[in-house]
Copies of this chain bind each other. A is one copy, B any other.
C-alpha cells in the first residue's frame, strides 16, 4: 500500500505536447486537484481545487453584489410538470436529467428532476413575487450544484455530471433594461478570467443553433486549449420573454397595464477550473496563477547538516511572508530534490530555498514555477521581491496563454481554406449566412468544427459570401474544433 502511495507521488509520465488527454488526467490526479469516485462522471474536488473555486466565487460575489444582485437558494428538485413548461428549455435538458423516483421505500407520484439549471423552479416563485413595476428589477443569484447526465466520455472538471456554478437570474420591466446588463456581466466574467485565472478569451454572440435552450441570444467567452480545441466559458443569456410567458411572470406597469417581464441568466462554472489547469500547466505538473493559489510560496531549508540556524531563518521568513500563506517544508526524511519535484507537481508559484551558504551571504534563492527563473535575493528585500515576482508570474502566464490564443486566430473566405486551417488547430473567422444547415455541413465536412461565436464588433460583411452555401453572408463568425 505504501508502494501505491509512492507511485502516485511520482511525476507525470507523459508529455503535454505528445498525449494531451493522458497528460491532463495524470495532472489532475497526481497534483491532487481531484479524484475519481464510484459515481461515474462525478469527481471529488480536493482542497486545492476547491480553495481556488471558493476564491473565484468570492470575487464574482463581490462584483455582482456591487451590481445589486442578491444571493438566494432554491430547492434542487424540480417537479417534472414544472420543468416541462418551457418547451425549448426542456428539450435541451431532458435527455440529461437525473430523476428521483423513490424516497425511502415509497414511489413518488411525480418524478423530481435534480436541477440541471434552476429556471423552472425559480421562475415559478418569481411569478408569485412580481406584481408591479415597483418589484423590478429583481436580481437574484445562486451558487449551486447541478447535474447533467452527459453520455460523452467524462473528463475531470471539463465534463462532469455534477458540477457547481453561479446562476444569475434577473428580471426587468423592459427589453432595453434587460439588455443593458449584458456587457457589464460578460465583462465582469472576462475580468475574472483574465485577472484571476490568467485565461484570455474572446467575447461574441452564439449563432441561433448554438445558443442556450430557451434564450433569445447568448453571449459567451470562448477560450483556447493547448490541444487546439476551443472551449466555451462563462455565458450571458438574454431570454427575452420566453420564460416569462411560459412561467407567467407578469407585472402591472406604471400605467397599470399588464406586461410580461424580460429576463437574463448568466453563469460561470467549475468547468473553467479545468481550462485553467490545462492551459498553464507543464510536464512537471501544475502551474497556478498566484492570485488563486491557496499557498503562494514554499520555503525549503536545506538541512543536510541539520543546521539549526538555517531552520530558524526559514521560520522567520515563513512568518514574514504569512500574507502569502506559505508552506514551510522542514521534513527531514525527504531530500530537497524530492521536495522540489513535489511542490512543482503541486503548482506552488514560488519556491524559496535557503542553505548554510545563503545564510552567510544573507540571501535566499527564489525559483519561479512558471518559467524556472532563479534569483538570489537579499534577506532585506524578500518581502518586496516575493510580491514583485508573484505579480510577474501572474502576468507571465497570462501573456503566454494570450500568445497561444492569438497564434491560433486565423481567417478564411473559402471552405477549403477553413477545412485546412480548422484541421490545423486554428480558430477561423469566416463569413456565414444564418441558415443552420450550413453549420451542420461545416461540422460534418470538417469532422467537428463548429461555430464558436460572432464577434460583437464586425468587420464589413457586405459582398461576402457564406463559406458553405455561397449565398450572401450575414456575419463573420469564429469556427473551430471545440469541447
| A residues at B contact (CB < 8 Å) | 1-2, 4-5, 35, 37-39, 42-47, 50-51, 53-54, 70-79, 82, 94-105, 111-112, 114, 121, 124-125, 128-129, 131-132, 135, 140, 144-145, 147, 149, 151, 162, 164, 250, 252
Contact = CB atoms under 8 A, between A and B. Distances in A.
A102 B103 contact: no
Nearest to A81: B38
Contacts of A131: 1-2, 4-5
A100 B140 CA distance: 29
B45 A72 contact: yes
A51 B37 contact: no
Given A4-B131, A77-B162, A131-B1, A104 B100 contact: no
A75 B39 contact: yes
Contacts of A76: 145, 147, 162
Name the residue in A100, A144, A145 with the highest tally of chain B Cβ atoms < 10 Å from its Cβ: A100
Given A50-B72, A76-B147, A99-B102, 8 more contacts: A5-B131, A37-B124, A39-B77, A45-B73, A47-B70, A73-B164, A97-B103, A101-B101
Contact of A72 (B47, B124, B147, B164): B47
Name the residue in A42, A99, A105 with the highest tally of chain B Cβ atoms < 10 Å from its Cβ: A99
Nearest to A140: B47
A62 to B, nearest CB: 12
A294 to B, nearest CB: 9
Contacts of A121: 37-39
A145 B164 CA distance: 12
A84 to B, nearest CB: 13
Secondary structure of the A side of the interface? mixed
A72 B96 contact: no
A325 to B, nearest CB: 10
A330 to B, nearest CB: 14
Contacts of A105: 95
Across the A-B interface, give the 7 residue pairs with the lowest CB-CB distance, nearest first: A42-B75, A103-B149, A47-B70, A45-B73, A5-B131, A99-B102, A95-B104
A75 B44 contact: yes
Nearest to A258: B1
A96 B103 contact: yes
Given A2-B131, A101-B101, A79 B149 contact: no
Contact of A44 (B79, B99, B125): B125
Contacts of A140: 47
A84 B213 CA distance: 39
Given A5-B131, A101-B99, A46 B75 contact: no
Given A39-B77, A71-B51, A162-B75, A2 B132 contact: yes
Contacts of A99: 100-103
Contact of A79 (B39, B75, B147): B39
Contacts of A53: 73
B42 A71 contact: no
Contacts of A95: 104-105
Nearest to A120: B38
Nearest to A61: B54
Contact of A50 (B43, B45, B73, B98): B73
18 contacts: A5-B132, A5-B135, A37-B125, A38-B82, A39-B75, A42-B77, A45-B74, A47-B140, A50-B70, A51-B70, A51-B71, A75-B162, A94-B104, A95-B105, A96-B104, A99-B101, A99-B103, A100-B114
A46 B71 contact: no
A149 B104 contact: yes
A86 to B, nearest CB: 15
A44 B74 contact: yes
Contacts of A149: 103-104
Given A2-B132, A5-B132, A71 B54 contact: yes
A115 to B, nearest CB: 10
A38 B104 contact: no
Nearest to A111: B102
Contact of A46 (B2, B72, B94): B72
Contacts of A96: 103-104
